Chains A and B, each alone.
Chain A
Amino acid sequence: MVPLSHYLALSAVLFTIGVLGVLTRRNAILVFLSIEIMLNAVNLSLVALTRATGNLDGQVTVFFVITVAAAEAAVGLAIVVAMFRRRETVDIGRFDVLRG
């Protein structure tokens, strides 16, 4: 039996990888992938915690998160396609029209 702390540690590591990816990557698709990693890190901790406490609510929440992530993937990829059509690039450093 793997102890709960291992699951949570893995989740924290995955989440940190996601955060760093979002903050540092320039490619919009990689940023997008990093967001997915963060979502799934959270999913992992939720599932681990519900299993440890014997409560199923967290698992139900995870299904919702997966559903939303699927929808988000569709919208997010559509945005990336639109960005590329406009600028012939997906480097988010080039998208700064809202600069003050």
Chain B
Amino acid sequence: MAAPDQKSSPTQVLESVGRGAAQFAGAFGFGAHLFFQSLYWLIMGRSKGQRVRAEPLFAQMMVIGVLAIPIVSMLSVAIGITLSMQGINSLEKFGAQHQVVFMVALSVTREFGPLITGILVAGRSGSALAARISTMVISQEIDALKVMGINPVRYLVVPALIGMMIVLPCLTLWSIGISLVGSAFYVAPQIGTTMGAYFSQINASIDAEDLAHGLTKSLIFAVLITIVAVVDGISVKGGAEGVGRVTTSAVVHGITAIVLTDMVFVFMTTS
């Protein structure tokens, strides 16, 4: 007689959910611990003989930021133009196509700029960081750091975290600007206005609070991308296959964390 299907039993489902929740809580706690450890070593490192050096920080900023400019620019222009096309198409129904500038300006500055840049950097740099950390775990490089008296959080995590926190808002700002420029090339001829008038309208549509909203989110995304990548990287099991697995999960977890946090942030700042 065939064994009953245990997988679908309520107890099994409950157990699976419980185990998942416990793992999430453990990872969340470890992530928070890593973040505060990073801040500790950033502030106290010098006095403890474990100073955070500028070279790896600049190297991280170069990799995360400067090298990402072409792809961020391309996607931002595409997003700006797409939003403009959708906006004009929708607003035309109400005879309000001139309001497209207002719609694009706000949605890019408050939402699409930070979100698209965050997702792109999570895919590009979050995965690279997870791969680097997990490879170091497997090849005992993290152990080597410890026995050399080098704190791995200070040496590996702090430059990545601070680099990301500096560069992601800058990239977001760049993304917002490029999106609006891209949008201008489509919108201005479509609604029969000049570039100058378009940018005047942009200037009137967004204020410092909108920009702060977008940049604050990008700062939070920077922390999330780094910490998720490190937590996933450290949790690696097995060899090369394990590295591939944690690299994928770092991207999935990073993007999930970004989108959910974005929703919570918007809820908290708008309601």
Q: Is the pairing of A and B real?
A: no
Q: Give residues in A with beta carbon < 8 Å to B.
A: none
Q: Give residues in B with beta carbon < 8 Å to A.
A: none
